[in-house]
Amino acid sequence: MSRLPSHAVQGELKPLANAHNIIAVGSGKGGVGKSTTAVNLALALAAEGLKVGVLDADVYGPSIPTMLGLSGKPDSPDGKSILPMRAYGIEAMSIGLLVGDDTPMIWRGPMATQALTQLLRDTCWSDLDVLIVDLPPGTGDIQLTMAQKIPVAGAVVVTTPQEVATMDARKALKMFEKVEIPVLGLVENMAVHVCSQCGHAEHIFGSGGAQWMSQQYDVPVLGSLPLQRSIREQGDAGKPIVAAQPDSAAAQAYRMTARALLARLAQRPKVRTGIAAALLGAG
């Protein structure tokens, strides 16, 4: 496979102060549930005993504040650094918290890149075991900026089983490969819809796409999440299902996915001991 020019992959990789094990969550296609997955995975990792933060790098359409029920401006004690906000025991930062709710992000590439660079540089995380970064959909400037500026431990690619989504997810896989970010695994979202009335299970977006990709590209499927009304409703209400209904089957599916992610992460060199401890705790 062709490689990117060396400057694209050999930018200055500076560790982020206080944010270890950075995990990027991406998708080839928009609307497949990447942000919903990122937030619930972050909460599921926190439920394993880890200190977790989530950075909304979707500078064109930040949705993390809504999903976590956050509003208002983050504090900036010195007028430069920004303190992340907290919700349900995790830390969060988003461009959506710095600009107004109704401000459209009509930015050209360099401006968006600059905004992300600022978020990465100026956010004062506390000592996080894992920082989940919710990327914008697609394979553009923001993803490259991430790869050039910070040492990302690995990526998770979210897809629905639909063929058009898996085709785009393949592009995301290849992009991560080109920028030398290991793909830790796939998450198949909206895999099956179970009728809340009669319990009938239906594969609305088809089936088997993620398994096919897994075999084709030799990356595991970390988890399969149902298409479920309560996942959408809880997200819209700013109370993600993992926090609001921790005993539900959907929340358990996120917890299993998070454990599979931790297991993959633990295979990487230089992971922090917190990860190993959480894995031991998960039994």
Interface residues toward ligand ATP, by CB under 6 A: 27, 30-36, 58, 61, 63, 137, 189-190, 225, 227-228, 231-232, 235
Q: Which is nearer to ligand ATP, 124 or 221 (CB)?
A: 221
CA distances 232 to 190, 220, 229, Å, are 11, 26, 5
State yes or no: 28 annotated in a binding site: yes
Q: How far is CA 76 from the centre of its chain?
A: 25
CA separation for the pair 24, 176 (Å, rounded): 10
Minimal distance, residue 43 CB to ligand ATP, in Å: 14
Minimal distance, residue 162 CB to ligand ATP, in Å: 13
**Token pair 């992009």: residue:** 175
State yes or no: 235 annotated in a binding site: no
Residue 189: φ, ψ to 5° = -100, 150
Minimal distance, residue 228 CB to ligand ATP, in Å: 5
Minimal distance, residue 79 CB to ligand ATP, in Å: 31
DSSP 268: S
Q: Which amino acid is present at 1?
A: M
CA separation for the pair 112, 146 (Å, rounded): 12
- The tokens of 109 are what? 């590439």
- The tokens of 207 are what? 């089936």
Q: Which is nearer to ligand ATP, 30 or 238 (CB)?
A: 30
State yes or no: 35 annotated in a binding site: yes
CB of 101 within 8 A of CB of 75? no
State yes or no: 274 annotated in a binding site: no
Residue 63: φ, ψ to 5° = -120, -5
Q: Which is nearer to ligand ATP, 23 or 231 (CB)?
A: 231
Q: Which is nearer to ligand ATP, 232 or 268 (CB)?
A: 232
State yes or no: 34 annotated in a binding site: yes
Minimal distance, residue 281 CB to ligand ATP, in Å: 27
State yes or no: 221 annotated in a binding site: no
The binding site for ATP comprises 28-35
